[in-house]
Amino acid sequence: MKFISTLLLCIATQLLFAQEKRTGDEILGIWLTGSGNGKVEIYKNGNSFQGKIVWLKEPVDPQTGKPKTDLLHPDKKLHSRPILGLINIWGFSFDGKEGWENGHIYDPKNGKEYKCIITMKDKNTLNVRGYIGITLIGRNDIWTRSKL
């Protein structure tokens, strides 16, 4: 009887502390940015993860009446490329535990590129941290899972 009680206790403990095996694919899908002005679809590109802008709250430039383009990019040759469809996050690899690292994020609102890490707060919430140099020098943006 003591053996059965010990066995049941061991099984219950294992079930209690068992963690769901994560593959990194939990990040796949469409995400509304923290500002609510855009949606980014994250997908796999080979062994890495990247994302592109698939929706904009204001896709048309009110001054020209034409789709918004990447006017603030430092390379003037890219000023005519559309924001909608723009790959703005790339190079992410899953760290095997709790996040995606070694990536980059481009912000078309200021034309700047940053190093980036992404962690998942829960299945519908991402913490996206863009930074310069070290992670302490940067800012967070909370993205929520969305539909197109």
Among residues 21, 28, 32, the alpha carbon closest in space to that of 44 is found at 28
Quick one: pLDDT band at residue 148, thresholds 50, 70, 90? confident
In a domain, 6, yes or no: no
Q: Where do we find the tokens 């994560």?
A: 22
In a domain, 15, yes or no: no
CATH of the domain at 141: 2.40.128.520
pLDDT of residue 1: 53
In a domain, 129, yes or no: yes
What tens digit of pLDDT does each residue of 17-50 get?
444 567 899 999 999 999 999 999 999 999 999 9
Helices (H), the chain: 2-17
In a domain, 3, yes or no: no
SS3 27: helix
Give the domain range for residue 94. Answer: 22-146
Burial 65-80 (b: 16+ CB within 10 A, else e): eeebbbeebeeeeeee
Given a cut of 50, whether residue 136 has pLDDT beyond it is yes
- Give the whole-number percent of the chain exceeding pLDDT 70: 86
Structurally, the chain folds into a number of domains equal to: 1
In a domain, 72, yes or no: yes
